[in-house]
Amino acid sequence: MRRRWTTAPAAALAAALAASGCGGGTGGGGDAAQVEVFSWWTGGGEEAGLNALIEMYEERHPDTEFVNAAVAGGSGTNAQAVLEGRLQSQDPPDSFQGHAGAELQDYIEAGYLEPLDGFYDEHGLREALPDQLLEQISYDGSVYSVPVNIHRSNVLWFNPSVLEEAGIEEPPQTLDDLIAGLEAVEEETDAVPMAVGAQWTVDHLLESVLLGSLGTEGYNALWEPGADWGTPEVAAALADFEAVLEHTQEESASEDWQEASRRVAEGEAAFTVMGDWAAGYFDELGMTAGEDYDWAASPGTEGTYLWLSDSFTLPVGAPNPEAADAWLELAASREGQDAFNPLKGSIPAREDADPEQYADSPYLSAALEEWQSGPELAGSFWHGVAADNRWKNAIDTAVGLYLQDGDTDALQDALNEASQAAQTE
C-alpha cells in the first residue's frame, strides 16, 4: 500500500506533534493510512471490548486501515515476549498495550516510549484520571501512556449451586474458610474445588493469597526496596497457597483463564480466582450473575482493590504517529472507555465516565461503586503494577519449579532471592 498521511501533510504533522509534546519525531517511513495496535486481547470478553474500539476508530477514521496485531495468550504471556523482540529490533507497532506501574516504567527506562504531556494537556487528561493512576504512568514528571480501564485482580468467582451442594452457605471470608470450603467441595461434590489454567493463572492466584494472608500493608511492603520475603508471615501465606493448590485440577496447564472461568459458570468447578475480565467473558457466554456465577473479594481481601490498569502507548519510532495519536485520543475519551469497558469487564480509568453504561452488569456496577468509594489499594504484581518484568518473571520461574517439586521452603527462598535481586537491579 502507498504510504501517505491521511489528514495532515507530514510537515504540519511533525510541527503539531512537536507542539503537543507527542513526539513521533523518530517515526516516519510507515503507512499513514494504517494504524497497528498491539495487545493480547484475542479471547472471550477481551476481544469484544477491543472490537468495540476498533469499530469506533474505523467510523471516525474511515481512511485508516486498522491493523489488529493482538497476540493470543492470557495476561500477555506470549505477547510481551513478541513485543520485546519488536521493540529491541526497532520495529514498534503504532501503539501497544502496557500495564500502568512498574511494567510501564521498564519500557520508559528502556527508551521505548514517547512522553505524552502535550497530548494530556490537549485533552484535559490530568483532570480526568485519578492521581494515583497518573503517578503510575509518569516518569520524571512526564506522562507516558493512556489508561483505558481499572481491573480488579482479587476476585473469587464461584458457582452458587456447587457451593450449595457442598453445604457452603456463604462465600469464604478468610483463607481458612476457603480451605475448609475446598475440602467440602472435594468431599461432597464431583466438581473441581479450585479451577486454574496455565501457569500464569497460578501466579495470579498467588497474589490474591499473599494479599489475603498478609493484609494490604503487609502485601504492599513486599514490593518496597529491601523487602524481606524470608519471614514467618510469608511462610504462612505460602502454606495457605499450598493448601489451596492441593484442590486444583490436574489437567490445567494447557488451558487459559477462559477455560477455568467457564468451568465455574458451567458447574464443573466451585471456585476460581481471576481478574474481573472474567465478568466480560461470563456476559459473552450468556451467563447470569447470581445464578450461573457469583463473586466475592478473594478471601481475606475485602475492602481492598488489588488493581491494575491497561494502558496504551506511543512507541518511539511508531511508523504512523498521527494515526496512533487518533487511537490514543479514542482510548482516552469518555465515549471510547464507556464502549470498551462494559464488554471488557472493567471500569473506566476516567473519573467522569457514565455510570449508566455499567448499570446492566451487577458485577461492574458494584465494582464501580466500590472503586469510587475509595477502597484500600494494592498493586497487582502479575499484571505489572508492583513488579517490573524481570522480577515478575523470576517469580514465575520460582512458581514453575514449585509446581513441579512442591517444595514450599524452596519457593520461599527463591521468592526472597527474586526480591533481593530486584532491589539491586
| Residues engaged in binding ligand BGC (CB under 6 A) | 40, 46, 74-76, 99, 151, 257, 275, 277, 308, 310, 383
CA gap 191, 406 in Å, rounded: 23
Nearer to ligand BGC, 81 or 243 (CB): 81
- Min dist. Cβ of residue 39 to ligand BGC (A): 8
Taking the CA atoms of 164, 169, 173 and 178 in sequence, report the sign of the dihedral they define.
Answer: negative
Nearer to ligand BGC, 117 or 207 (CB): 207
- Min dist. Cβ of residue 45 to ligand BGC (A): 7
Written as one letter, the residue type at 46 is E
Q: What's 315's DSSP letter? A: B
CA gap 2, 28 in Å, rounded: 13
CA gap 255, 43 in Å, rounded: 12
Nearer to ligand BGC, 245 or 308 (CB): 308
Across the beta sheet with 310-312, the strand order is: 65-68, 34-38, 95-99, 310-312, 146-147
Nearer to ligand BGC, 151 or 247 (CB): 151
Nearer to ligand BGC, 74 or 299 (CB): 74
Nearer to ligand BGC, 69 or 239 (CB): 69
Cite the DSSP H helix spans in 68-154. 79-88, 102-109, 117-122, 125-128, 131-136
Nearer to ligand BGC, 261 or 412 (CB): 261
Q: CA-CA distances (angstroms) from residue 48 to 15, 42, 152, 344?
A: 36, 9, 19, 7
- Min dist. Cβ of residue 275 to ligand BGC (A): 6
Q: CB within 8 A of 68, min separation 6: which ones?
A: 37, 50, 54
Three-class secondary structure of residue 95 per DSSP:
strand
- Min dist. Cβ of residue 79 to ligand BGC (A): 9
- Min dist. Cβ of residue 40 to ligand BGC (A): 6
- Min dist. Cβ of residue 76 to ligand BGC (A): 6
**Cell numbers found for residue 345:** 469487564
CA atoms within 13 A on the CB side of 278: 33
- Min dist. Cβ of residue 100 to ligand BGC (A): 10
Nearer to ligand BGC, 96 or 117 (CB): 96
Helix axes 321-332, 334-344, angle to 10 degrees: 70
Nearest residue to ligand BGC on Cβ basis: 277
- Min dist. Cβ of residue 306 to ligand BGC (A): 12
